[in-house]
Structure 1
Amino acid sequence: MERIASDRRVSLAQQLVLDLSRQIAAGELPAGTKLPTEQAFTEARGVSRTVVREAMSRLQAEGLVETRRGIGTFVVDTPRPGDVLDNQPEKGTADDAVAICELRLSLEVDAAAIAAQRATPEQLQAIRAALDEANAVGPLHKDSGRIEFEFHLQIALCTGNSFFIDAMRHLGNTVMQGGQPALTEPQRARLVREREQVYAALLCKDADVARAAMRLHLTNALHRALSAAQAATG
């Protein structure tokens, strides 16, 4: 019974961490925002003070909040995805694109599997919105890079893991900035199917399928990057 109670407490704390992490990442809780008191959280969420303290400790360890003794807990200033992209001085080379795809394969595949297990209904709605926007624009759209990035970032946010999230934001400095490679209609249709397969796996909370779908999606992106690099070198 003690183990069950402990697991339930951890689960409740994890859910609170996920919810607050998402709100911070989305800008709903901007830097400097003072979080509610422990008492306010316990009344609003129906959880114990221990759960709230565990959640605050984890958020603080992840660098998302800081506690000022006698004053309260505040959201820390963290980079937003738009800031990352706007501060980028120049595009990477075709070889850089290949290297980035290789890195993303080692990062986002497992992130998708974790997201499938942890995504909340609200987070799935955010992914659906980002997916619809990505599917609606063509690769030559001036904001296609940012829009595609948002779809992948929303998936990373579902992990509730600040290291996954920070890594994705830093990748925003070099990935998908000048729009997407020119695609034929069959290639574009395949790209849309790949995204939909990732989303369907998240919706079904199937970690293995999410992992496989993201691997396929990024492997095809790697193949396109390799082709572009080869074309650039003649």
Structure 2
Amino acid sequence: MQQTKTNLTTALVDFLREQISSGEIAPGDKLPSENSLMTSRSVSRTVVREAILRLQAEGLVHTRRGAGSFALTPPRDDSESPSGHVPRTLQERRHLLEFRMGFESQSAAKAAENLPPGALADMDFALNAFRASGGNASETMNCDYEFHLAVARASGNPYAVQTLQSFGPAMIAMPRQRFDMPTDELSPRLARVAEEHEAIREAIATGDQVLAAAFMRAHLSNSIRRLEHESGLTPKTFG
């Protein structure tokens, strides 16, 4: 009996993890209710609750008392976002990365030019937290976002900051490798992301506007390639 319950819990965890990683349940979306999962997956309430606890431990689900469980990050108040739109499809994620490539490259250049007090400390905090996350999906997503937000703030352009805040952590493209169980070390793919962030930070620290913009553009371009590779698509088939 115990083995059967364990197998059912594992199967439900795998199902919900796939729903999250594929974008069927987007960041901030509410997971199906306990009753809905019990009916659709033919499992007990205990199995559902244990599956949610395991997803919480993986950093994939946030549960808010009285409101339910949500994917990756807590739901955003629509008043915080002019569009209220979270990128769900691969096409939308690519479009967002292409959009970010333009203004975030400029933000990196302006950050290198301005470099206000405390800006590097904010970037370093996000970088260190990213490396210490061990690949926990929710933590790496938030730390990734906080690094880009720190660069935008360092640019001194409030519109760049507002644009990133309007998307929140959901703007970060999430390769499925980020949905593996957390480990003590970053995966090779996440380690490369950290290295790209550090290159941007160093260019900003030295005041090299051209290099800072180039590294930011290369980082976001690499993010597109990582997304395409993870999806098994080429730029042509991506649309």
Aligned to 2:166: 170
- Report what 1:207 is aligned to: 209
The gaps in structure 2 that reach 5 residues or longer are 1-72, 78-83, 179-185
1:181 offset after TM fit, Å?
Answer: 3.7
Alpha-carbon distance in structure 2 between the residues aligned to 1:136 and 1:216 = 24
* Aligned with residue 219 of structure 2, among 191, 198, 217: 217
| CA apart distance, 1:212 | 1.3
Match among 76, 88, 105 for residue 86 of structure 1: 76
- 1:131-155 Cα shifts (integer Å, max 9, x gaps): 1112222444323222210110010
Change (3 A) 1:181 1:216: farther
Gaps of 5+ in 1: 1-82
Residue number in structure 2 paired with 1:110: 106
Instruction: Go from structure 1 to structure 2 and tell me whether the alpha carbon gap of 1:139 and 1:85 turns closer, same or farther (over 3 Å shift).
Output: farther
User: Residues of 1 paired with 2:103 and 2:194: CA distance?
Assistant: 21
Aligned to 2:195: 193
Shift of 1:101: 0.9
Residues 23-62 of structure 1: matches in 2 within 5 Å? none
Query: Which one of the candidate residues 125, 131, 138 is aligned to 1:135?
Result: 131
CA offset at residue 111 of structure 1? 0.7
The question of whether the paired residues in 1 share the 8 Å contact of 2:86 and 2:171 is answered with: no
| C-alpha distance in 1 between matches for 2:165 and 2:158 | 10
Taking a change above 3 Å as real, the CA distance of residues 138 and 220 of structure 1, as seen in their structure-2 partners, is farther
Contact 1:145 1:180 (C-alpha < 8 Å) held by counterparts: no
Q: Residues 193-220 of structure 1: CA distance to partner in whole angstroms, max 9, x if unpaired?
A: 1111111111111111111111111111
- Aligned-residue Cα RMSD (Å) equals 2.9
How many residues in Structure 1 have an aligned counterpart in Structure 2?
150
1:147 aligns with 2:143: yes
Q: State how far apart, in whole Å, the 2-side matches of 1:209 and 1:155 are.
A: 14
CA-CA distance at 1:226 after TM superposition: 2.0
Q: CA deviation at 1:192?
A: 1.7
1:114 corresponds to which letter in structure 2?
K
Q: Does 1:156 align with 2:158?
A: no
Aligned to 2:177: 182
Offset of 1:173 from its aligned partner? 6.8
Maintained 8 Å contact 2:112/2:209: yes
Of 195-204 and 118-127, deviating more is 118-127
Query: TM-score, normalized by length of structure 2?
Result: 0.55
Write the distance in 2 (CA, Å) between the matches of 1:115 and 1:215. 14
Cα distance in 2 between the residues matched to 1:119 and 1:84: 32
The superposition leaves residues 38-75 of structure 1 with CA deviations (integer Å, 9 ceiling, x where unpaired) of: xxxxxxxxxxxxxxxxxxxxxxxxxxxxxxxxxxxxxx
Q: Deviations over 1:143-200 (max 9, x none)?
A: 32222101100100011111111111123274128x5541683323322211111111
Equivalents in 2 of 1:181, 1:151: separation in Å? 21
